[in-house]
Amino acid sequence: MSEPTFGAASGTPAATAPARTGRLSTATRAILRLAQPRARWFVPGLAAGVASLLCAVALLATSAWLITRAAEQPPILYLSMAVVGVRAFALGRSAFRYLDRLTSHDAAFRQLSLLRVGVFSRIVPLAPAGLADTGRGELLTRLVRDVDALQDLPLRVVQPLATAGIVAALSVAGVWSVLPAAGLTLLLGLVVAGVLGALGSGVLAARAERELAPLRGNLIGQVLEVVENLDVLTAFGALPGRLNALRQADELLRRATLRRSLGVGVQGALLSLFAGGATVAALAVGIPALAAGGAAGSLAGPAFAVIVLVPMAVFEVFGTVPAALGAWREVRSSAERVATAVPTVIPAEIPVEVPVEVSSGGATGATSAIGATRGQRARVVELTDLGARWPGAETPAVTGVTLRLAPGDRVHLAGPSGAGKTSLAQALVRFLDYTGSYTLDGVEARLLPQSEVRAVVGLCEQRPWLFDDSIRQNLLFARDTATDEELLAVIDRVGLAEWAAERGGLDARVGERGALVSGGQAQRIALARALLADFPVLVVDEPTANVDEEQGDRLVRDILVTAAEDGRAVLLISHTPVPDELITARVTLPGRAPGLRRAGGVLPA
């Protein structure tokens, strides 16, 4: 299954709710197509669902005929086929129902996995810079709750509408074959019930059904914000206000749910009303035919029972139609939110993955440059007049950086806050696109797959992300084949051996986002991960930002000494001084004042 095309209309931020229009956008249609299972997965469930519902209608019809005919006391031989039919239809209804649930849900879950991969494949090129304006709670809701809601497209929309339509048409044809007038009344009852049921649902519940997904996203986003910032909100006395806003969001969601429930109740009432009306209409046209005796167009007692009772079974089946229309509105709303979970156009500041084209004679174009570095480890990084800009920014975050990193180099990049140090680090690992030149062993970085660049240049961020798991798991994702001995060795190299032993070893947990470790310990764990990944070039962004001066000095020394032992190149980004004996060169980024945006190049240590 190919990935969805999310359209190319605009760069709407992920947190922006889609505008309601009468037509589906290209991106939304792509999401809905991806949510609908392939025919070879979907058709078996549809066939089983039709068979199950036909058995239910046939069971009622056969039972009505059998009871009425038995009241006439014919020879038992005349009833044997109907007796077998009742048993067969009763067993078939359950068996086909089971097959329906098994195959249709299997198809929906298979397609759901493809949909998740398709959505995440669109997010990965944008992260992290392209998602800077996206709320975590809102994005989480769209990627989990709204994506999950899309499985309702085949299960609660397409299949119910298809099965109800097929079974209703066959039932009308069956009743028509017994008494045309009864078939006509049943058809009219179904049409009127469907139209009025849909209109009633649309008037009472359509808006609520469209609002449910955005309101859930808003509520989850606010809950996540309160939980993550509970200590800060409490310390500044802002918690009551946030809890009040949370209650208001919950109240809006509750009201929308109640409005939807009201629409569902009206649907049920209308269907029950028209089911009774269809039964009365069948009686009205059937009684004269029954009274006709043996005349042409007359109706026997068992057949009369069939045309009177079948509408009840048919309307029970047809009751899924208004519900399916309501489910469609919810699915459409979720699809629109998923389609706008990421910008429909990748901002120019975000690097686009280079296509790899292979001709019959081998690699061509950019691929030939890629081949120059495959099979060997690139180590020399050269920047010439490099600049970078964040998405949506009017001015570049950093410009004019020129430096060279070779094996064993330890360069200190300094500058005041806002000078663009972090932006430079983001550009080096291709989270941001760049202007100027950036080469790895002479090959321009924009000609290389981003995964190859990141296999060479590793980043230890200013606030490293730690998973809510053990120390072992926080290290293994850098190299999942590492043994416990290798993990303990790298922990010892970064100065955490004694601390880890006191905490219980590799099984010690670090807490959510590293809540159970200090800033310096988090930086050392991040450094251990980088050493395990064995990056030839290591970019360390502000390692002393979250530690005191003494710990910061010790951490910087450990980083640079460890790098020197391995012969790797290090770009240490820090606004604090670093002893000359630890580095080989310095680069200073000036402040952001007009005319002071160019770096002066590499200065000798």
| pLDDT tens track for 455-470 | 899 888 878 888 888 8
Q: How far is residue 568's CA from residue 327's CA, in Å, rounded to a whole number?
A: 57
Average pLDDT over residues 307-312: 89
The closest of 519, 62, 133 to 343, measured between CA atoms, is 133
- The pLDDT value given to residue 295: 55
254 Cβ partners below 8 Å, 6+ apart? Answer: none
Query: Mean pLDDT score of the chain, rounded to an integer?
Result: 81
Which range (87-91, 110-114, 159-163) has the least confidence?
110-114
SS3 353: coil
Contact 36, 154 (CB under 8 A): yes
Domain segments of the chain as ranges: 26-339, 405-604
Q: Check the CA dihedral 264-269-273-275 and report its sign.
A: positive
Element (H, E) at 458: strand 457-460
Q: Check if the beta carbon of residue 438 is closer than 8 Å to that of residue 386.
A: yes
pLDDT (average), residues 185-190: 90
Pick from 493, 559, 482: nearest CA to 523: 559
Q: Are 316 and 164 in contact (CB under 8 A)?
A: no
- What sign does the dihedral 142-144-147-151 (CA atoms) show? negative
Q: Convert the pLDDT of each residue in 556-572 to its tens digit.
A: 888 888 777 778 899 99
Superfamily of domain 405-604: P-loop containing nucleotide triphosphate hydrolases (3.40.50.300)
Q: Are strands 381-388 and 362-363 parallel, antiparallel or unpaired?
A: unpaired
CATH class of this structure's domain 26-339: mainly alpha
Beta bridge partners of 570: 410, 538
What is the amino acid identity at position 231? D
Rounded to a whole number of angstroms, the CA Rg of the chain reads: 34
**pTM exceeds 0.75:** no
* Burial environment of residue 251 by CB neighbours within 10 A (0 to 12, 13 to 18, 19 or more): exposed
